[in-house]
Structure 1
Amino acid sequence: MTKELELSIERLYSTFSRYPFRSEIDGCPCCVSESDKEKLHTKKLRSLEEEDLSRYAFKAITTWGDVEDFKHFLPRILELLSTTNFIVNTFVVLGKVNYGNWTSWPGDEQTAIKEFLISWWTDSVKHKTYFDKEAFVEIYKLLGDIELLINKWVLSFEDNSFITYIDLVINYYKDLLYGKKSFKEIDKETIDKVLAWINDRKGMIEKGFFYFEKVDPEFAEEVSRALYIVEHIK
């Protein structure tokens, strides 16, 4: 985890600490069982695990509790989402943030969420071994600033940022180019900016091939595939 992400998570806890835990949180009896409710009582907020919060994360606001209840649990949910293989999909969690009309929340809460999303995205491209398409789409939908996301993606051979870039090219370049459903929620102007960003870094792919040819020949073949895609698929 980057220091930036760590600090942004701490800011979430600090900012949303104004929302206390309510011992009685109303939930639809058809959707929320007593055992589901009990899980929220078993531990302190920072100690709640995936199995404690997953059901709540699915049902929050719509059929279990209100926005203020959601804000209480939000720091831990976002921490689990960004640092573990959280069972609840990214589009569900960030969809709840959007459903809760987060752009109308107090300014410091909006800032804390924005800083978290940017830090999480930066951490993702630096440390994951694959391009997290779902996180990319959902974070963009909340922030609405594609330049911010791609400018935060600084390619380097010293971390995984180049590896995630190559994965993007191999697995999603055609989808971006031909308007496939993987990116159906992103408008064409934004897609064109992503494609331009990819193509502007073609020289980095060439350098990456020669770099990894020496240290990881198998990955160098993937780099070669990516270069072919960028140069020949139009």
Structure 2
Amino acid sequence: MIPENLEKSIENLYSTFSQYEISSKIVGCPCCVSDRDKEKIHSKELRDLQEEDLSRYAFKALTTFGNVNDFKHFLPRILELLVDDNLGVSTFVIFGKLEYGSWKNWESEEQEAIKIFLFEWWKYFLERQSYFDKDLFYGIYKLTKNIDKLLQIWKIDITQNNFVVYVDFLKYYYQDFINENDEFKDFNEIDDDKFLKWIKENAKHLEAGFYHYENKDQRFAREISDALYVFEHS
């Protein structure tokens, strides 16, 4: 069940972008977009569109299918489906569409609605998932440049999923971060230092977490031990 604050942020997206009505004809590249693709996005009310209706459009939006106003019309539903991985298109692609559509030049209330949603989504992710999602974390950072907010939300509690995500990050992504591999190379110097400081400060939870789970969940206790080893030897 989606928490109340995330649900409110989604409703705010619908409200904010409601002025962008669907065009009767949305132009698509004839080589890439079929008549059936165009029919699907007109087949239902916006909130009723599902993966099979919207995924093709979401993947092709702006580049070969429709314009910015078309994208703004569908954006609330695209983001809503993306939250629980019900879109069939990756987070990386959709965040790239926002950048391609120059969302930082959109109306201020539109930008704010997106930011509120993104941080509520990050909070929701930390509460329910057991792995670190690099595309989501880095994608939100890249769009907002607000590492402080991301880390403020990611408050570590060894009894909660946010700790599991932290352990997974250390085990599988910490070396990439300190070596500035992949997307992590694009962190600015100040935010890089803030993130590293946060990682080190929260490493104190690893030992306590290991003893907490040693007899309750031996598999996870081993994961914690592996994460501690990576942290201490990187």
The match for 2:222 is: 221
Query: Does the CA contact (< 8 Å) of 2:158 and 2:205 recur in 1?
Result: no
Q: Judge conservation of contact 2:50–2:87 (CA < 8 Å) in 1.
A: no
Match of 1:174 in 2: 175
Evaluate the alpha carbon distance shift between residue 85 and residue 199 of structure 1 in structure 2; reply closer, same or farther with a 3 A threshold.
farther
| Superposition deviation, residue 85 in structure 1 | 4.4
Give CA deviations for 1:198-232 in whole Å, capped at 9, x if unaligned. Answer: 11011111111111113211101111111222223
2:112 pairs with 1:108: no
For 1:84 and 1:59, how far apart are their aligned partners in 2?
18
Distance 1:81 1:184 in 2: 26
Q: What amino acid maps onto 1:76 in structure 2?
A: R
Q: Counterpart in 2 of 1:95?
A: 96
Whole-angstrom CA distance in 2 between matches of 1:113 and 1:168: 25
Distance 2:110 2:47 in 1: 19
Match runs of 1:61-76 below 5 Å: 61-76=62-77
Change (3 A) 1:68 1:182: closer
The whole-number CA distance in structure 2 between the counterparts of 1:180 and 1:4 is: 34
Question: After superposition, where does 1:178-217 map in structure 2 within 5 Å?
Answer: 178-217=179-218
Pairwise CA distance, 1:117: 0.7
Match of 1:4 in 2: 5
Query: With structure 2 as the length reference, what TM-score do the two structures score?
Result: 0.94
- Unpaired runs of 5+ residues, structure 2, are none
- Counterpart secondary structure, 2:25: coil
Q: Within 5 Å, which residues of 2 pair with 1:124-163? A: 124-163=125-164
Q: Deviations over 1:110-140 (max 9, x none)?
A: 1100101111111112211100001111111
Counterpart-to-counterpart distance in 2, 1:117 and 1:75:
12
User: Alpha carbons of 1:133 and 1:105: their partners in 2 closer, same or farther (altered >3 Å)?
Assistant: same
Q: Which amino acid aligns with 1:68?
A: N
- Structure 1 window deviating more from structure 2 (35-44 vs 188-197): it is 188-197
Correspondence list, 1:51-62, <5 A: 51-62=52-63
User: Which residue in the other structure is 2:15 paired with?
Assistant: 14
> Sequence identity of aligned pairs in percent?
51
Letter in 2 for 1:73: F
Moved more, 154-163 or 29-38: 154-163
For 1:138, the aligned partner's letter is G
Question: Structure 2 vs 1, CA of residues 6 and 157 (structure 1 numbering), >3 Å: closer, same or farther?
Answer: farther
Name the CA distance, whole Å, in 2 between partners of 1:22 and 1:177.
Answer: 47
Return the offset for 1:186: 2.7
Structure 2 distance, partners of 1:23, 1:99, is 24
Amino acid at match of 2:207: E
For residues 63 and 183 of structure 2, what CA distance do their matches in structure 1 show?
Answer: 26
Gaps of 5+ in 1: none
What amino acid does structure 2 have at the position aligned with 1:17? S
